Amino acid sequence: MSNPTRRPINIPIRVEVAAPKSAPTGAHPHHHEHAAHEDASACCSHDDCCAPGDVTVPVNTASAQAAPEGADRVRFRIDKMDCPTEERLIRNRLEPMAGVVRLDFNLIARELTVFHQLKDASTLAVALTELDMAPTLLEVGQKAAPLPQAVPLHMKLQLAVAGVAALVAEVLDWREAPLWGVALAASLAVALSGGPTLKKGWIALRNFTLNIYFLMTLAVVGAVLIGKWSEASMVIFLFAVAEAIEAASLEHARKAIQSLSALAPDTVNVWRQGQWQSVPVEAVAEGERMMVRAGERIGLDATVLKGPAALNEAPITGESMPVDKQTGDLLFAGSIVVDGVVEAQVTATAGHSTLARIAAAIQEAQAQRAPTQRFVDQFARYYTPSVVVLALLVAVLGPWLAGGGAMHWVYQALVMLVIACPCALVVSTPVTVVSGLANAARQGILIKGGVHLEQGRLIKAVALDKTGTLTAGRPTLTDVITLQRYNAQNALRIAASLDQHSSHPIAQALVAAWRERDPHGALAPVEHFDVLAGRGVKGRLLDQHWQLGNHRLVEELGLCSPELEARLETLEIQGKTAFVLLDEQGAVAILAMADTLRAESRQAIEALNALHVKAVMLTGDNQATAEHIARQAGISEVRGNMLPADKLDAINQLVQVHGAVGMVGDGVNDAPALARATVGIAMGAAGTATALETADVAIMDDDPRKVAQFIRLSQATSRVLKQNIALALGIKAVFLALALGNHATLWMAVFADMGASLLVVFNGLRLLRLKA
């Protein structure tokens, strides 16, 4: 059963598993499970991800957003593009041009990216200038200047004077003053408030685009032609006021997104020339040493050199409690030092920090068109011409079918045109989606597009990885059971020697356990180190060959005696992961590791159950260990001993049963399952660039409760989208009926259209205040 919304492409990701003999690196393959780890080499627990060389995993194209093959790219800042109406006008002009491949719009940032095969891209700027869009070409990597205020002071003054003039025109008309006086006051109101609207209406007409500005211009010109000067002035004034309020509301959503980029300071204290100097963040190189005092923000991603310190990481991870940082811990740009002074080594320059990647991902995400937005745009494309035709029929056939003067029916047709404008319908979806994305980012949940934000509500089952997701991902050595010839300390030294170059958490924990027991001891050098894919590692030390592997390896070697089998089963029933150290004569010792359940995991499962979402654990650990952890977490369905291909098959089965399925993993090792799931969710993505790139949704910290938060936010977004569509169409239907019954005026028509627009915008902005 395929998922029509996901079109995976294959992108090669190198997974190093067999390191050079002189410096063996890689994961720890004798453990089936994995943990969230930035190093791609951590994925060496399974057969199909442990073969030497390149491994190809599917990555969702919706997340990748790759440029079309063979196309150049040019980016424009469009100062006069602030709503979907302008987007449609630009599409109608540029898409038919020969050589234009694709247009990507970012309405919030007012940017347009054109993928093209043109010899001279200046024709694009000319076309945009002819549309009066005020384009500015942006060079590669160039940041656009800050956007101007949505409603500047001079515009507010103009609107105030225009409102007075329109009101004067209405009073004069009501008192039956001479027509020239009414026309003079009305003309002043139109000149002060209607210039941009009338100009955009004329441009739309020249480009054969039926949009809100064309319909409003038609209504105003028509009202003037039939002598309704006062109504024409009030219509254009009210429309301008509504446009200004709408622009201010959109600016609020824009600032919610841009505030993420403003979290990092402009300067940092860097050690240069024997002293601390304040340096712009853009001028700081990777590897430099910086200092941050209490109350200051971290300017760049870094690793702690001197601490300790307590940091508020809420801007990145959404975690409200301060996090203690010790030497070697990661620091994220935008975090705040709550207590202490920290010195750290910069690990990423300003443009490549975690904060910069988050801001860039959200900018790209809100530029993508959500399913509801695509539906609304398609609906409006056919709806608007249909209404124009209907209004024309009313003007022409009204006198013949129902009697009355021709001017009366022309007036009713104009009322219908204003009422039927699709502005409220079109503007409702992008504002709602952007608000949802910004709210999620504040909670430490990065959603890679409106399509994933909408799909979250459909999830009926969630498959969760164990290590690093439900458990802490920090295994500790619990048992060293010797079987023959070697004591526990010697057996542990040999095992640690085999694992000393591995970066996998299991290997690090084993080596750390040996160092705690023998701080001054030395590990033995290893020759001919090799990885036994999905089973263990081997190497030569102390003049003989050694293997360190899991239960499966022992069985394949035919060395699993009843006594050894019983010991392994006992450890596994206790929820421990056991592996065996073997020399040339057989099993020497059993070592066991245990990982503890996160404090939040049980709450996370309870939250999913409350949403009627089934939780399933998929893990490479043995079934007994998996069931032990699952019982603690409250999960009823557990599937252990799973390789990546098995997890992919499990997701396929869950999709067939439940329809929409979420997969929660680390974004690297579970890539096939994450790509196949309806929504792939990466845990602990703040420390892993790969997770930010591969997942549909990235939870910046390690809190599994945010999976349910994401689903709840998706459900809330869906409700608001439906409310907005119902509001927009319902209000129009009511006033359209009034117009057909001769009970509506142009005033009412403007209130119906602009009132609906403001209602849906304000309703969409409510998502910014939605609590976790």
DSSP annotation of 540? E
Is residue 52 very low, low, confident or very high in pLDDT (cuts 50, 70, 90)? very low
What's the whole-number mean pLDDT along residues 489-513? 81
pLDDT for res 161: 92
Tell me the C-alpha distance between 578 and 570, whole Å: 10
Structure tokens at 292: 């941050």
Residue of higher predicted confidence among 108 and 29: 108
Structure tokens at 674: 């994450």
- Least confident among 244-253, 328-337, 430-439, 609-618: 244-253
Q: Is the pLDDT of residue 55 over 70?
A: no
- Least confident among 130-139, 362-371, 387-396: 362-371
Is residue 757 very low, low, confident or very high in pLDDT (cuts 50, 70, 90)? confident
263-277 pLDDT tens trace = 678 889 999 988 999
313-364 pLDDT tens trace = 766 765 656 788 888 888 888 888 888 888 999 998 887 777 777 766 666 6
What's the whole-number mean pLDDT along residues 583-606? 88
DSSP string over 451-488: HHHHHGGG--EEEE-STTTTB-S--EEEEEEE-SSS-H
- Least confident among 259-263, 344-348, 519-523, 732-736: 259-263
Residue of higher predicted confidence among 460 and 425: 460
Is residue 253 very low, low, confident or very high in pLDDT (cuts 50, 70, 90)? low
Question: What rounded mean pLDDT belongs to the chain?
Answer: 78
Structure tokens at 123: 């024709």
CA angle 59, 65, 66 (to 5 degrees): 90
Contact 550, 535 (CB under 8 A): yes
Is residue 604 very low, low, confident or very high in pLDDT (cuts 50, 70, 90)? very high
- Mean pLDDT highest for which of 146-150, 405-409, 425-429, 710-714? 710-714
Single-letter code of the amino acid located at 190: V
Is residue 9 very low, low, confident or very high in pLDDT (cuts 50, 70, 90)? very low
Contact 320, 289 (CB under 8 A): no
587-597 pLDDT tens trace = 989 998 887 78
Tell me the C-alpha distance between 693 and 13, whole Å: 12
DSSP string over 197-265: HHHHHHHHHHTT---HHHHHHHHHHHHHHTT-HHHHHHHHHHHHHHHHHHHHHHHHHHHHHHHHHTSS-
Q: Is the pLDDT of residue 254 over 60?
A: yes
3-state secondary structure 119-158: CCCHHHHHHHHHCCCCEEEECCCCCCCCCCCCCCHHHHHH
CA angle 710, 713, 716 (to 5 degrees): 155
For tokens 């509500």, the residue is: 457
- Which backbone phi and psi does 539 adopt, to 5 degrees? 180, 170
Give 23's contacts (C-beta < 8 A, 6+ positions apart).
501
Helix (H) or strand (E) holding 277: strand 275-280
Of the chain, the percentage scoring pLDDT greater than 90 comes to 15
What does R_g of the chain's alpha carbons equal in angstroms?
Answer: 32
Instruction: Enumerate the active-site residues.
Output: 465
What's the whole-number mean pLDDT along residues 572-581? 82
What's the whole-number mean pLDDT along residues 628-634? 89
- Give me the long-range contacts of 135-141 (CB less than 8 A, separation at least 24): 135/76, 135/77, 135/78, 135/79, 136/76, 136/77, 136/79, 137/74, 137/75, 137/76, 138/75, 138/76, 138/77, 138/111, 140/75, 141/351
With b for 16 or more beta-carbon neighbours within 10 A and e for fewer, the 78-111 pattern comes to: beebbbbbbbbbbbbbbeeeeebbebbbbbbbbb
Contact 754, 242 (CB under 8 A): yes
Q: Is the pLDDT of residue 221 over 80?
A: yes
Helices 354-367/423-442 angle, 10° precision: 160
Is residue 17 very low, low, confident or very high in pLDDT (cuts 50, 70, 90)? very low
Q: Is the pLDDT of residue 27 over 60?
A: no
Tell me the C-alpha distance between 572 and 550, whole Å: 12
pLDDT for res 458: 93
